[in-house]
Amino acid sequence: MATNTLTPDICVIGAGSAGLTVAAAAAAFGVDVVLIEKGKMGGDCLNYGCVPSKALIAAGKAAQAHRTSEKYGVEANEPSIDFSKANAHLRSVIAAIEPHDSEERFEGLGVTVIKAEARFVDANTVEAGEVAIRARRFVIATGSSAFVPPLPGLETLPYLTNETLFELTRTPEHLLIVGGGPIGMEMAQAHRRLGAKVTVVEAARALGAADPEFASLVLDKLRAEGVAIMEGVKVKRLEKVNGGVRAFLDATRTLDASHILIAAGRVANTKGLGLEAAGIATHANGIKVDDRLRTSNKKVYAIGDVIGGQQFTHLAGAHASLVVRSLLFRLPVNHHRLVVPAVTYTDPELAHIGMQEAEAREAHGNKLKVLTAEFSGNDRALTEGQAEGKVKLLVGKGGRLVGADIVGPHAGELLAPLALMISRRLHIKALLDLTLPYPTLSEVLKRAALSYYAGAAEKPWIRRVLALLRKFG
């Protein structure tokens, strides 16, 4: 029962990427903000997701460099791996970022931080611990958690999710990963490079949301490194054996492993929020919102993973920026207009933005041009010994870039100028007009764009114009 009542301008529920952005921005403008978080400040991304996973990927990349150095004239060897030190590395990265997301920092900004579970008791009130909050506006930013499928026998096992995976301080002898999406494939490669035997079981197609041709280059690389990837295979049931797990795949096949990681997707964190009491509607994947990210209760907004759809930290941050504009400045916003990039941080990286090719063909018909370039034609990629990969640019009506895929070194970084072009509806000529430093990987983008004008030199009317101009000296 609440014994104290607060009446801030804004109450934010959830201190992950989205919630922290809203709270910090509002406080910077002198707005009274209450921030409620029942778990760790920084949310999933800092503590269990983006940060520790990328730190572990970096450790795996360092180990792999030892194995593949022969081509540079450096003696290759199988590295000696101390998994506990790899874990210490990721813990040190979290520790370095933690102060920026800490309770102390936000209280210093003027935010009232309440460490408790929040729930709506009516359309205008949230209770958190012994405090009732009646705010002008509420923002739900509670994120998502690993989806745990109802696999028979799983409940009897000490299975891993992203929330427990990074507690391991010893190399798993054999890591079985259920789910071949970005998280599953990133962790498969990282753990394989750090000495574990790894098997991925995917019911459909691994990296199924990506362009099939581009995804196949990543999967081929992982298989070459020793990751076993079983596609179109379902785990029927599980049982505990010899301190590990046995997976029954079909009538004849079983698979034994020491550890099992569930990477089968994410589910919105709505449980216990009391949404019905507040008149907040939901759908199958989370909280229902309008173009402005408002819920069916017009006093309440919802942002980030909790609304379903694409679940990225950078999208949660973009939602937060839109809500700040709407809440503080009454500016019109529409989250459906966001152009959202996606990157899978395997080696090679896999990046995408805008339309997929099939979608672009449907929208633009015969006006669509598909421009490609190989990293094997990029001088910097050749010098780095990373010449495997490809760029695909989709150019629609009016010469505007409408989609792009990259598989290759630093694909996520290379996506940045393409994201700008799509969001600003720029003509492909904008990329050609750039003077890029040599030698850089970014030149591969310009090389692909150049093919937009392929065949122009052979067009008769252009040759006639040139002949006419020559007559003037």
Provide the residue ranges of all domains of the chain, joining segments of one domain with +. Answer: 4-41+102-146+267-337, 154-264, 348-454
Q: Tokens 């994201």 appear where?
A: 419
Binding residue per annotation — 143? yes
Q: In CATH terms, is domain 4-41+102-146+267-337 a member of 3.40.50.11540?
A: no
The pLDDT of residue 465 is 72
Expressed in angstroms, the distance from the first to the final Cα of the chain is 91
Task: Taking each helix axis as running N to C, give the angle between helix 182-193 and helix 50-67, from 0 to 180 degrees, rounded to the nearest 10.
Answer: 40
pLDDT on residue 456: 57
Q: Binding site annotation covers 30?
A: no
Q: What is the mean pLDDT of residues 126-141?
A: 97
Is 265 annotated as a binding-site member? yes
Q: 154-264 with 348-454: one CATH topology?
A: no
At residue 463, the pLDDT reads 66
**In 3D, which of 266, 261, 335, 366 has the Cα closest to residue 306?**
266
SS3 call for 345: coil
Is 473 known as a binding-site position?
no
Answer yes or no: is 40 a known binding residue. Answer: no
Using the Cα atoms of residue 30, residue 320, residue 94 and residue 419 in order, give the sign of their dihedral. Answer: negative
Query: Is 179 labelled as part of a ligand binding site?
Result: yes
Rounded to two decimals, what is the model's pTM? 0.94
**Topology of 348-454 in CATH?**
Enolase-like; domain 1 (3.30.390)
Model confidence band, residue 470 (pLDDT cutoffs 50, 70, 90): confident
184 annotated to bind ligand: yes
Residue with tokens 């003037």: 472
Res. 216: pLDDT tops 60: yes
pLDDT tens, position by position, 420-436: 999 999 999 999 999 99
114 is known to lie in a ligand binding site: no
Q: Which of 56-60, 172-176, 250-254, 256-260 has the lowest mean pLDDT?
A: 250-254
Superfamily for the 154-264 domain: FAD/NAD(P)-binding domain (3.50.50.60)
54 is in an annotated binding site: yes
Check pLDDT > 90 for residue 290.
yes
Closest CA relative to residue 311, chosen from 266, 280, 343, 245: 266
Output the pLDDT for position 242: 85
* Helices assigned H by DSSP within 264-384: 313-329, 357-364, 379-384
180 is in an annotated binding site: yes
Can you tell me the mean pLDDT for 162-188? 97
